[in-house]
């Protein structure tokens, strides 16, 4: 692995720890900072671990095989077609979800159900939307891979 991966991991861990330290200051952003701590520290630890593992002499052959397989997967026309098709289908599902959400928020507004909790509702919805898009892309890719 490249030295850049190691430094990226170390910087992510440092930023995560800085977010954790900032969360102890009792600000309104405490929960957000704790979330950023986890979101930065966990991938940083994984990057540092992978760098240490794949740079050891006993895993050099395994790392070369992994790189070769990644290159094959990136250039495989069938897998590229499947990635494109799953992305398109996930996008179309996202459009349908967006249209449905506009309808739901419109009805809630007309019924007077949206008040100061609107921002919380929108944030939860957008989080769900993001997770839906990611999950839909993954599931559709797997289904298409089995089909073809």
Judged by DSSP in three states, 112 sits in coil
Give residue limits of the domains in the chain: 1-75, 77-148
CA distance 91 to 8: 31
Task: Write down the pTM of the prediction.
Answer: 0.57
pLDDT confidence band for 116 (50 / 70 / 90) = low
pLDDT confidence band for 39 (50 / 70 / 90) = very high
Q: Cβ distance 52 to 3 under 8 Å? A: no
- DSSP of 61-108, one letter per residue? HHHHHHHHHHHHHHH-HHHHHHHHHHHHHHHHHHHHHHHHHHHHHHHH
């Amino acid at each position: 692995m490249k030295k850049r991966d190691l430094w990226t991991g170390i910087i992510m861990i440092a930023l995560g720890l800085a977010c954790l330290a900032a969360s102890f200051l009792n600000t309104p952003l405490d929960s957000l900072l704790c979330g950023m701590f986890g979101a930065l520290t966990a991938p940083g630890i994984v990057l540092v671990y992978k760098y240490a593992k794949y740079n050891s002499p006993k895993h050099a052959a395994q790392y070369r095989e992994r790189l070769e397989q990644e290159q094959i997967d990136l250039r495989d026309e069938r897998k590229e077609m499947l990635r494109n098709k799953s992305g398109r289908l996930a996008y179309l599902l996202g459009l349908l979800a967006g249209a449905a959400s506009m309808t739901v928020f419109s009805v809630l507004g007309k019924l007077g159900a949206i008040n100061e909790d609107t921002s919380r509702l929108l944030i939860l919805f957008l989080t769900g939307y993001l997770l839906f898009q990611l999950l839909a892309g993954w599931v559709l890719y797997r289904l298409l891979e089995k089909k073809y």
